[in-house]
A and B are shown apart, each in its own frame.
Chain A
Amino acid sequence: DTAVSQTPKYLVTQMGNDKSIKCEQNLGHDTMYWYKQDSKKFLKIMFSYNNKELIINETVPNRFSPKSPDKAHLNLHINSLELGDSAVYFCASRDGGNTIYFGEGSWLTVV
């Protein structure tokens, strides 16, 4: 019973393509996140949604578009992929005590 699940786990794609990563949490949390971890292992927040509403957008290129159809889902769509987009993307949700629960990550490689 994975609390925060994201798919796909691995994704290899060519520059210029459009791809999506899906995320679902079954914890009943109101707040969800997307984080990006680059090759230097720095974990950087990208977006946060609270109950389907965008509350944090950390100066991410507009090629990245999050979508939250309901509070249990937060998907990430990326247009016109670039080499620099290669990273691990972690979905996460937050409980009332501010603890963050991460998904297993999606390893994106752009070639």
Chain B
Amino acid sequence: RKEVEQDPGPFNVPEGATVAFNCTYSNSASQSFFWYRQDCRKEPKLLMSVYSSGNEDGRFTAQLNRASQYISLLIRDSKLSDSATYLCGGGFKTIFGAGTRLFVKA
């Protein structure tokens, strides 16, 4: 089992939709988790850190479930500009999942 796994998608959603991504991790000792966004031919950039208590930044909500060893990202009111690949990552080695592609259509 890979240390970090996520559904590669792609997710095709209309503008205004709510979309959720999940990511599972295998190392229960992992402490720090993140969601990164990567645009085409660009480097990944931090979107949000993920905390057990959950954290929200505008239309984005991230959650960590330690008991089930998964992290989630919820995007509300999707915009065309949200189209990108979303990478979850974490752990001591900062391992990343394969990324989930999101396409938001008009």
Interface of A with B (CB < 8 Å)? 33, 35, 40-45, 48, 56, 58, 90, 94, 97-105
B43 in complex: contacting residue of A33, A44, A48, A90, CB < 8 Å:
A90
Can you add 19 more A-B contacts, CB < 8 Å, to A99-B34, A100-B89? A35-B96, A40-B98, A41-B98, A41-B99, A43-B44, A43-B98, A44-B96, A45-B93, A45-B94, A45-B95, A90-B43, A90-B44, A94-B94, A98-B31, A100-B34, A100-B36, A101-B46, A102-B44, A105-B42
Task: Check B87 against A104 for contact (C-beta < 8 Å).
Answer: no
Interface size class of B (residues with CB under 8 A): 20 to 34
Task: Check A103 against B34 for contact (C-beta < 8 Å).
Answer: no
Chain B residues lying within 8 Å of A94, measured Cβ to Cβ, are 94
Find the B residue at minimum CB distance from A45.
Answer: B93
Classify the interface of chain A: helix, strand, loop or mixed.
strand
With both chains docked as a complex, state the minimum distance between the C-beta of B90 and any C-beta of chain A, in angstroms: 8
The number of residue pairs between A and B whose CB atoms lie closer than 8 Å in the complex comes to 49
Task: Check B98 against A42 for contact (C-beta < 8 Å).
Answer: yes
Interface residue? B32 (CB, 8 A): yes
CA distance A101 to B85 in the complex (A): 17
Task: Check A100 against B46 for contact (C-beta < 8 Å).
Answer: yes
Interface residue? B49 (CB, 8 A): yes
Task: Check A99 against B89 for contact (C-beta < 8 Å).
Answer: no
Interface residue? B59 (CB, 8 A): no
